[in-house]
């Protein structure tokens, strides 16, 4: 495995991202891991059968080769099914399905599953709100149902339809390896005097291969056994969604296991079969056909269009205002991706955004990976955040092969438990993590797109990006269309931002989309202010307990309450190892998470406001190293600084985006600072960005409206809404708390004023800010937020 993974990793970036090509480029590096796995499996077993089994069958019984043959057949069958079976791809949505104005539709929709709020994100590529547990795989460029992960060893996504086969493949492969090793050992033990023969040599070689592969395979098997028992997907596990919380998708251990093993094969979406048909896209119906027939043709045509566009990388979503497009892209790897550059060129450059460019220095080591991922993400129009996270992740050489989801987790988690998801799973995690993150060898199943990817897209980054994206989406001038909020969508981010032109992704992180696929654009355009000073904030805001999609309303409310109480507990919550993601929070829940968030927010604010008065700016400096440690190790009250929420008040609406993007740079630019918890550092920075974003949103709300509802005024409304957003944000939540805390800034009411008085300040897209304000000035829409709280959002 390590060898294979390395080869996969080495070949990771075979060609520059084909941003311009309409179809997915052929990337031979994608096939290296699967070819290596197949070669090892078939080759070793064949040698075993040829050299070892004849003697064994003579010596002991013919059952031995039969048993091994059956096991091998089972392994092969499940391997083939896992490789070639459709994992549960959602076809692209019909154009008509997304007839809502992109500028006005929210980026997130909330849905309640067994009492837990789950957030569904808008997939700009596939043009629908992703169902729960669905995720968009950037490698395959598809939304996959019950997305587990993208496995490079089978070169396929593992989703609802083929998870069983993948799991059985792992189980049977473990048994097969044990059998081969055991029988080989038996052969060698009986031939100790004849070890120089070819047969013995081959047997020993096969034993070596088997022994080498046994450790990671067994580790992965154990990991998935735990996942199956808990009813989680790999994606959910590594992002820590359910850590400390309640998993709404579990039915108990027995039912979970039986669902995986005994449920009927899920169907393949019918429209995917239509791809082969070539039907003209003419919308007009032939007059000779009957009505029903013509109707069916139309439907099939639309399906075909979807399918064709799927391969061609789906029609670009209607471009929102140009300045909205990937505002943060300018920061990123523009030079790498022409398509992104073109997108960027549309965005009016803002001084703040450009500010980041000089500081944005991604380490060369992961740079290509980053840019590649970035290109993919950007082209997808999804995750600017990912790029930022990638930048941050570049700081951590050790986690190359981990899926981007890992980025969400605290670095400590990764270091400790490897992909196994932190310390929770010592068995699986240890074995999985045993293969050092470097080179992705240890975690075969989770290398990203066949390329060792610094996948530690920092969850904080992503989350903050999500938050930023939310606010930015509001900014970008999509009036929060209340009408579109069907299910109490609380996020104010808009699909328009997410629906950037999605050029074909090439082999980016498989988990990236999970983290913050569409949030990066918003995130990127966040406050540019942050950049220069932000590097100084090495202490990343701890991951705010990725509770976003699953936090119950009460939790959000509590957070809101807690925002005003700085405490160390928020830090604990934020630190990656302790993510209470799906918290069923009761209204009386304690303050520890919110205060921690509060703290982190403060910290993040301090980070983001380097330009703030010296006290605030100075404050971040000393604690940075401390933060680093604290976030990494425990959750002591890290932030001795006074709350800087007021500092990080509103003026930085757009700046928040850039800020968030900038913060990832900070860790990158200060490698020494982030020895151990680089992800935390990033998360901190991102959370500050997220906080900024939240503040911005709050400000906007305050400025926008009329709405007095929830807390008495826009300023109060915004925080609550922010909190909702936070909770709902898909990203593993660091920014959430920061966002909420920022929202609760008492100075928020003044934000609109400050906003108006600072025209030049990091308004990446002046039109965006203006338009939302303009649109928001209208009526007030009541939205049922998390936990049933009703928020009035001015529309």
Partner 1 sequence: MSTEFHNLQELRHSVSVATKVFIQRDYSQGTTCRFQTKFPSELDSRIERTLLEDTVKTLNSYYAEAEKMGGQSYMEGCLACATAYLIFLCMETRYEKMLKKISGYIQEQNEKIYAPRGLLLTDPIERGMRVIEVSVFEDRGSSGSSHSSSVSSGGISQR
Question: Which of helix, strand or coil describes residue 297?
Answer: helix
* Angle (CA) 466 432 169, round 5°: 100
Identify the DSSP state of 673: G
Rounded Cα gap, residues 249 and 132, in angstroms? 9
Site for partner 1 contains 262 (CB under 8 A) = yes
Rounded Cα gap, residues 99 and 94, in angstroms? 9
Render 62-125 in DSSP notation, one character per residue. Answer: THHHHHHHHHHHHHHHHHHHHHHS---EEPPPPGGGG-S-TTTSBSEEEEEETTEEEEEEEETT
- Residue closer to partner 1 by CB (options 10, 285) is 285
Q: Which of 71, 174, 303, 506 binds partner 1 (CB under 8 A)?
A: 303
Site for partner 1 contains 276 (CB under 8 A) = no
Tell the smallest beta-carbon distance from residue 303 to partner 1 (Å): 6
Rounded Cα gap, residues 644 and 589, in angstroms? 25
Tell the smallest beta-carbon distance from residue 321 to partner 1 (Å): 26
Q: Which of 73, 195, 201, 312 binds partner 1 (CB under 8 A)?
A: 73
Tell the smallest beta-carbon distance from residue 30 to partner 1 (Å): 24
Tell the smallest beta-carbon distance from residue 493 to partner 1 (Å): 20
Tell the smallest beta-carbon distance from residue 728 to partner 1 (Å): 14
- Residue closer to partner 1 by CB (options 90, 153) is 90
**Contacts (Cβ under 8 Å, ≥6 apart) of 232:** 241, 242, 247, 249, 250
Q: Which residues pair with 122 in a beta bridge?
A: 129
Q: Which of 46, 61, 194, 265 binds partner 1 (CB under 8 A)?
A: 265
Ranges within 658-717 binding partner 1 (CB under 8 A):
none
Site for partner 1 contains 614 (CB under 8 A) = no
Question: Which of helix, strand or coil describes residue 144?
Answer: strand
The stretch among 28-36, 46-54, 285-293, 315-323 that binds partner 1 (CB under 8 A) is 285-293
Q: Which residues pair with 762 in a beta bridge?
A: none
- Residue closer to partner 1 by CB (options 192, 290) is 290
CA 342 to chain centre: 25
Site for partner 1 contains 246 (CB under 8 A) = no
Tell the smallest beta-carbon distance from residue 709 to partner 1 (Å): 24
> Computed over its alpha carbons, how large is the radius of gyration of the chain?
26
- Residue closer to partner 1 by CB (options 151, 304) is 304
Size of the site for partner 1 (CB under 8 A): 54
Q: Considering 134, 140, 143, 151, which one is annotated as catalytic?
A: 151
The stretch among 280-288, 437-445, 504-512, 728-736 that binds partner 1 (CB under 8 A) is 280-288
Q: Which of 133, 243, 385, 775 binds partner 1 (CB under 8 A)?
A: 133
* Angle (CA) 332 548 537, round 5°: 45
Q: Which of 267, 364, 614, 760 binds partner 1 (CB under 8 A)?
A: 267
Site for partner 1 contains 633 (CB under 8 A) = no
- Residue closer to partner 1 by CB (options 255, 365) is 255
**Contacts (Cβ under 8 Å, ≥6 apart) of 35:** none
Site for partner 1 contains 4 (CB under 8 A) = no
CA 115 to chain centre: 24
Q: Which of 16, 25, 131, 671 binds partner 1 (CB under 8 A)?
A: 131
Site for partner 1 contains 87 (CB under 8 A) = no
Site for partner 1 contains 112 (CB under 8 A) = yes
Rounded Cα gap, residues 780 and 567, in angstroms? 34
Site for partner 1 contains 279 (CB under 8 A) = no
- Residue closer to partner 1 by CB (options 160, 632) is 160
- Residue closer to partner 1 by CB (options 116, 762) is 116
Tell the smallest beta-carbon distance from residue 547 to partner 1 (Å): 18
Site for partner 1 contains 263 (CB under 8 A) = yes
Tell the smallest beta-carbon distance from residue 216 to partner 1 (Å): 24
The helix (H) or strand (E) run that includes residue 793 is strand 790-794
Q: Which residues pair with 604 in a beta bridge?
A: none
Site for partner 1 contains 229 (CB under 8 A) = no
Tell the smallest beta-carbon distance from residue 545 to partner 1 (Å): 23
As given in the structure block, the two tokens for residue 563 are 């925002």
C-alpha dist (Å) from residue 322 to 476, 478, 703, 771, 773: 10, 13, 23, 13, 18
Look up 151 and say whether it is catalytic. yes
Residue of 450, 440, 377, 368 lying closest to 406 (CA atoms): 440
Rounded Cα gap, residues 427 and 102, in angstroms? 46
Q: Which of 64, 76, 563, 601 binds partner 1 (CB under 8 A)?
A: 76
Q: Which of 192, 276, 278, 284 binds partner 1 (CB under 8 A)?
A: 284
- Residue closer to partner 1 by CB (options 189, 291) is 291
Q: Which of 14, 91, 466, 749 binds partner 1 (CB under 8 A)?
A: 91
Render 251-271 in DSSP notation, one character per residue. Answer: --HHHHHHHHHHSPPPPPPGG
Tell the smallest beta-carbon distance from residue 727 to partner 1 (Å): 17
Whether 331 and 524 have beta carbons less than 8 Å apart is answered as yes
As given in the structure block, the two tokens for residue 427 are 């068995």
C-alpha dist (Å) from residue 441 to 5, 582, 731, 737: 5, 31, 26, 35
Site for partner 1 contains 58 (CB under 8 A) = no
Site for partner 1 contains 280 (CB under 8 A) = no
| Residue-wise burial string across 686-720, b where 16 or more C-beta atoms lie within 10 A, e elsewhere | bbbbbbbbbbbbbbbbbbbbebebbbebbbbbbbb
The stretch among 69-77, 206-214, 522-530, 538-546 that binds partner 1 (CB under 8 A) is 69-77
Site for partner 1 contains 168 (CB under 8 A) = yes
Q: Which of 175, 266, 297, 561 binds partner 1 (CB under 8 A)?
A: 266
Q: How many helices (H) and strands (E) does the chain have?
A: 32, 10
Taking residues 340 to 369 in sequence order and writing x for each that binds partner 1 by CB under 8 A, - otherwise, the string is: ------------------------------
Render 362-390 in DSSP notation, one character per residue. Answer: --HHHHHHHHHHHHHHHHHT--HHHHHHH
Residue with tokens 């906003």: 755
- Residue closer to partner 1 by CB (options 3, 132) is 132
Q: Which of 189, 276, 278, 291 binds partner 1 (CB under 8 A)?
A: 291
Tell the smallest beta-carbon distance from residue 686 to partner 1 (Å): 29
The stretch among 244-252, 440-448, 737-745, 760-768 that binds partner 1 (CB under 8 A) is 244-252
CA 787 to chain centre: 24
Whether 145 and 335 have beta carbons less than 8 Å apart is answered as no
Rounded Cα gap, residues 744 and 748, in angstroms? 7
Q: Which of 3, 94, 205, 753 binds partner 1 (CB under 8 A)?
A: 94
Q: Which of 261, 277, 312, 483 binds partner 1 (CB under 8 A)?
A: 261
Ramachandran category for residue 450: left, alpha or beta (phi over 0 → left; psi -120 to 50 → alpha): left
- Residue closer to partner 1 by CB (options 286, 364) is 286
Site for partner 1 contains 90 (CB under 8 A) = yes
Site for partner 1 contains 157 (CB under 8 A) = no
Ranges within 535-574 binding partner 1 (CB under 8 A):
none
Footprint of partner 1 (CB under 8 A): 73-74, 76-77, 80-81, 89-91, 93-94, 96-97, 99, 111-114, 118, 128, 131-133, 145-146, 164-165, 168, 248-249, 251, 255, 258-259, 261-267, 269-271, 284-285, 287, 291-292, 295, 298-299, 303, 486
Which sequence positions are flagged as catalytic? Answer: 151
């Amino acid at each position: 495995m390590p060898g294979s993974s390395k080869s996969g990793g080495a070949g990771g970036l075979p060609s520059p991202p084909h941003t311009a090509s309409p179809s997915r480029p052929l990337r031979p590096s994608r096939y290296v891991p699967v070819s290596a796995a197949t070669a090892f499996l078939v080759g070793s077993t064949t040698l075993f059968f040829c050299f070892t089994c004849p003697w064994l069958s003579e010596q002991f019984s013919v059952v031995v080769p039969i048993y091994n043959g059956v096991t091998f057949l089972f392994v092969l069958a499940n391997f083939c099914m896992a490789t070639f079976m459709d994992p549960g791809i959602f076809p692209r949505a019909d154009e008509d399905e997304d007839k809502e104005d992109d500028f006005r539709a929210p980026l997130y929709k909330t849905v309640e599953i067994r009492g837990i709020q789950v957030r569904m994100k808008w997939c700009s590529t596939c043009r629908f709100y992703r169902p729960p547990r669905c995720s968009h795989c950037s490698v395959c460029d598809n939304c996959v149902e019950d997305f587990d992960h993208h496995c490079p060893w089978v070169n396929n996504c593992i989703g609802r339809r083929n998870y069983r086969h993948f799991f059985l493949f792992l189980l049977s492969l473990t048994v097969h390896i044990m059998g081969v090793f055991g029988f080989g050992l038996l052969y060698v033990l009986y031939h100790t005097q004849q070890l120089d023969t070819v047969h013995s040599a081959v047997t020993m070689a096969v034993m070596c291969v088997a022994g080498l592969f046994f450790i990671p395979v067994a580790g992965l098997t154990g990991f998935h056994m735990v996942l199956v028992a808990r009813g989680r997907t790999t994606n959910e596990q590594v992002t820590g969604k359910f850590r400390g919380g309640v998993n709404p998708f579990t039915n108990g251990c027995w039912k979970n296991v039986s669902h995986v093993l005994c449920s009927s094969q899920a169907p393949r979406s019918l429209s995917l079969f239509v791809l082969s048909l070539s039907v003209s896209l003419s919308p007009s119906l032939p007059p000779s056909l009957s009505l029903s027939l013509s109707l069916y043709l139309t439907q099939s045509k639309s399906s075909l269009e979807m399918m064709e566009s799927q391969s061609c990388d789906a029609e670009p979503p209607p471009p929102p205002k140009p300045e909205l497009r990937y505002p943060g892209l300018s920061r990123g790897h523009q030079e790498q991706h022409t398509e992104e550059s073109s997108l960027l060129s549309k965005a009016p450059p803002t001084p703040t955004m450009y500010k980041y460019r000089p500081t944005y220095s991604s380490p060369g080591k992961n740079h290509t990976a980053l840019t590649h991922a970035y290109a993919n993400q950007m082209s997808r129009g999804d995750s600017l955040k990912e790029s930022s996270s990638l930048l941050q992740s570049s700081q951590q050489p050790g986690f190359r092969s981990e899926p981007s989801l890992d980025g969400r987790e605290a670095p400590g988690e990764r270091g400790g438990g490897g992909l196994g998801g932190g310390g929770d799973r010592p068995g699986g995690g240890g074995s999985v993590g045993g293969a050092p993150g470097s080179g992705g060898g240890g975690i075969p199943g989770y290398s990203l797109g066949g390329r060792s990817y610094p996948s530690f897209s920092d969850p904080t980054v992503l989350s903050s990006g999500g938050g930023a994206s939310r606010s930015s989406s509001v900014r970008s001038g999509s009036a929060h269309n209340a009408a579109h909020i069907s299910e109490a969508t609380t996020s104010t981010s808009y699909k328009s931002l997410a629906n950037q032109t999605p050029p074909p992704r090439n082999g980016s992180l498989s988990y990236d989309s999970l983290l913050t696929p569409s949030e990066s654009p918003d995130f990127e355009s966040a406050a540019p202010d942050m950049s220069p000073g932000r590097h100084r904030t090495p202490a990343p805001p701890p991951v705010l307990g990725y509770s976003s999609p699953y936090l119950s309303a009460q939790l959000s409310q509590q957070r809101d309450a807690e925002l005003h109480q700085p405490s160390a507990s928020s830090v604990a919550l934020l630190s990656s190892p302790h993510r209470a993601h799906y918290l069923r929070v009761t209204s009386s829940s304690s303050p520890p998470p919110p205060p921690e968030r509060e703290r982190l927010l403060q910290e993040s604010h301090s980070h983001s406001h380097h330009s703030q008065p010296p006290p605030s700016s100075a404050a971040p400096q000393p604690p940075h190293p401390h933060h680093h440690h604290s976030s990494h190790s425990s959750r002591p009250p890290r932030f001795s600084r006074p709350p800087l929420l007021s500092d990080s008040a509103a003026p930085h609406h757009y700046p928040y985006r850039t800020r968030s993007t900038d913060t990832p740079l900070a860790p990158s630019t200060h490698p020494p600072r982030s020895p151990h918890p680089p992800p935390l550092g990033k998360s901190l920075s991102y959370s500050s960005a997220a906080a900024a974003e939240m503040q911005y949103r709050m400000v906007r709300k305050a400025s926008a409206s009329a709405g007095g509802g929830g807390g008495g005024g826009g300023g109060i409304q915004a925080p609550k809404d922010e909190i909702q957003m936070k909770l709902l944000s898909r990203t593993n939540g660091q920014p959430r708390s920061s966002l909420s805390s920022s929202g609760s800034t008492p100075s928020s009411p003044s934000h609109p004023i400050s906003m108006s008085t600072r025209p030049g300040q990091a308004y990446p897209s002046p039109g965006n800010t203006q338009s939302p304000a303009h649109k928001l000035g209208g009526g007030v829409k009541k939205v049922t937020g998390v936990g049933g709280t009703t928020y009035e959002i001015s529309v």
